Structure 1
């Protein structure tokens, strides 16, 4: 729940005036999408969450833990929480209510909030998913149809906006794009809260008058947008995380950026998690010598890392055969005195290798030490062949 508190405080700091009189909100965590969600917001089962102003509550989906006794927050649910909490914290701002593009545009803007490395809460320059969605639909539909879709989104009523059809994600993307663009057109010296209030006072005609200039801002590719911020210490982590999802990227350049983060940060875990993802990615190009150099650096760090650090890194490793290059260090984790680390390491090995292995959490946490040693030795023999 620390991450929820971090997000809540981060949004509150961005909206100090708007959140002064906002009531506390109740957050519910459910193991499976609850049918009640379809009653309150008419969402189909499978949505990640919803906010009810009537009940003053947020519902989030979770997953059962390994033994089925607890419900764990899904990793993607943090963004959902930020989205739904933004609904709650902006609910008292005049001019937002019942303007569904603005309601969702603001929430989508906040859902991308991230930690730049200092524990703070930052809003990224673009929302990657929605930026790409808008560019893709602009290419597919053409300029005029895209402009028509913007107009329909701004002028749509509740039923048309939230209709659970194939266009719902597109309407969210258009809403984000409009708010993102308008937030840049108001005076740059204004804080975010002032910009939200200024946008809420615009008429629909004034909003749509900015449509053409929005299209111009969508010209840059996502990769170009990310590259612009790789050397910015405040946005570096967001930019690297985004670049790791690209294809045909020069990994040598990214490793130089990660080297800067390792030199500047007192906590190296994010950088080493990123290194593990980079080395395991099929879409990132690396020279053979650089790859071997960084595998060596990775292995050296893993020998000195704490059990908790090793768990975090093992969980970050990308499933797939390319990550098999990191196997030596993960096998070493099977011999740790920390049972949680042994469990996570076994699960990671199963995801990156075709070698048959025992993944039972009970075996690695509480099993016979001699039997565990035999399994570790079988891995050693396999790696030497």
Structure 2
């Protein structure tokens, strides 16, 4: 009776909940509600529309969609059930209401990619429940597939699914290494919703679910099969078939080295793997701890890749790696020094792509390292012929140098040469005075 009352309460609240939001937008397959402004709504709808388009291709669903999902973006986190393992982004999907709710206030404090990931995770749940009858009763498969597909990379024209989830791999390896004698799969496959989402074991269950689904998709099923066909085969597998794979699964996950795998993906040259390669390079830039030196070696090797897109991505990833790991110059001073010299030469090269130069300049403000003083180069760059490069240099100087400056991009893009020369002259005098101390 209590469950029935709760269900009725949710339905009543749901029927009128759209009225409580200031803005909404409808597209094929979904309606988005939010109290954020129209610009945020438009941008988010574009991202959601891309997700729906790519998943319709994965699951081979004809358009228009046979259903409409209601997606609510708000900041009311109190009392909501957290279906995601990321504590910073609250999201959940209610199948019988075809409703997704996401804490956009938490998302706004994170990277855009984090919002994309939680959107993709919850929308994947909707597609899985709609296309695979009975999957709601298989928590391990429902969450395992969402954990694999949430790392999808989607742009304007296409989508790729690397399946590798570095965060969940780390948790899964830790759990398997710490429980070598315990069989994990049988309990995992038999978990109901309540036990699966228990606060004490939820993180572990998400990670192990990702790990077994990843193993099945990548190691047990033919790679030439389309993703949908592999998903359908897993859905059709019985418990005994899967639990019999415990030993092979454990060995595969424990041997799966995240840096080695990311390096392999980063070097993908096939046209259909371009997005995956760029994603892997970005992930290498986020390495920490014992993985830093090996990630550094892979990224600096990519500096000489034939594909300009991969070279440029590796430059930015290197700067992020350095920002996250200020000890890097001590771990490998030779590679770090050569890499910094290479980036300085790219920034100084007036023939290099302006967008790339501005991107690098905009990413060096946190990267003051031994024997590399960026300030003289940045002051010189204030006189660059490219407006976006000048503006990026001014922004970096405002964070790196102890001197007030005009930061407004409009000044550096639109002001006359005479006006800019006054500001550049002040910088040059400041630099000369600093050098004479």
TM-score, normalised to structure 1, is 0.75
Is the 1:48–1:77 contact (alpha carbons within 8 Å) kept by the matching residues of 2? no
1:169 correspondence with 2:214: no
1:225 correspondence with 2:225: no
1:186 correspondence with 2:224: no
Residue 61 of structure 1, aligned match among 104, 110, 116:
104
Deviations 1:218-248 (A, max 9, x none): 2232223233334322343333333331322
Tell me the matched-pair count.
366
Residue 297 of structure 1, aligned match among 345, 362, 382:
345
Deviations 1:112-131 (A, max 9, x none): 1126x995322225211111
CA distance, structure 2, for counterparts of residue 142 and residue 270 of structure 1: 38
Deviations 1:268-290 (A, max 9, x none): 75344234335655447352662
Is the 2:152–2:161 contact (alpha carbons within 8 Å) kept by the matching residues of 1? yes
Aligned-partner SS, 2:102: strand
Q: 1:172 to 1:253 in 2, by over 3 A?
A: closer
Deviation at 1:151, TM superposition (A): 3.0
Q: 1:291 to 1:204 in 2, by over 3 A?
A: same
Deviation at 1:34, TM superposition (A): 1.9
Deviation at 1:250, TM superposition (A): 6.7
CA distance, structure 2, for counterparts of residue 86 and residue 364 of structure 1: 40
1:236 correspondence with 2:281: no
Residue 277 of structure 1, aligned match among 320, 331, 335:
320
1:98 correspondence with 2:137: yes
- Structure 1 stretch displaced more, 212-221 or 319-328: 319-328
Is the 1:251–1:286 contact (alpha carbons within 8 Å) kept by the matching residues of 2? no
1:39 correspondence with 2:85: no
CA distance, structure 2, for counterparts of residue 192 and residue 64 of structure 1: 29
CA distance, structure 1, for counterparts of residue 180 and residue 249 of structure 2: 11
Is the 1:18–1:89 contact (alpha carbons within 8 Å) kept by the matching residues of 2? no
Q: How does 1:209-224 map to 2 (within 5 A)?
A: 209-218=244-253, 219-224=255-260
Is the 1:279–1:291 contact (alpha carbons within 8 Å) kept by the matching residues of 2? no
- Structure 1 stretch displaced more, 251-260 or 125-134: 251-260
Structure scoring higher RCO (CA < 8 A, sep ≥ 6) equals: 1
CA distance, structure 1, for counterparts of residue 365 and residue 235 of structure 2: 42
CA distance, structure 1, for counterparts of residue 406 and residue 199 of structure 2: 40
Q: 1:317 to 1:373 in 2, by over 3 A?
A: closer
Q: 1:83 to 1:315 in 2, by over 3 A?
A: farther
Deviations 1:21-51 (A, max 9, x none): 4534344444xx4236x33558898434333
- Structure 1 stretch displaced more, 123-132 or 71-80: 71-80
Deviation at 1:191, TM superposition (A): 1.0
1:322 equivalent in structure 2:
369
CA distance, structure 2, for counterparts of residue 124 and residue 12 of structure 1: 18
1:49 equivalent in structure 2:
91
Q: Which runs of 5+ in 1 are unaligned?
A: 66-70
Is the 2:100–2:122 contact (alpha carbons within 8 Å) kept by the matching residues of 1? no
Deviation at 1:111, TM superposition (A): 1.0
1:112 equivalent in structure 2:
151
Q: Which runs of 5+ in 2 are unaligned?
A: 1-42
1:205 equivalent in structure 2:
240
CA distance, structure 1, for counterparts of residue 93 and residue 402 of structure 2: 44
Deviation at 1:382, TM superposition (A): 7.5
Deviation at 1:339, TM superposition (A): 9.3
Is the 1:272–1:298 contact (alpha carbons within 8 Å) kept by the matching residues of 2? no
CA distance, structure 2, for counterparts of residue 366 and residue 309 of structure 1: 21
Is the 1:104–1:175 contact (alpha carbons within 8 Å) kept by the matching residues of 2? yes
Aligned-partner SS, 1:156: coil
Deviations 1:64-100 (A, max 9, x none): 99xxxxx997332111122112112222112312211
CA distance, structure 2, for counterparts of residue 56 and residue 313 of structure 1: 41
1:256 correspondence with 2:256: no
- Structure 1 stretch displaced more, 234-243 or 13-22: 13-22
Aligned-partner SS, 2:136: coil
Q: CA RMSD in A?
A: 4.1
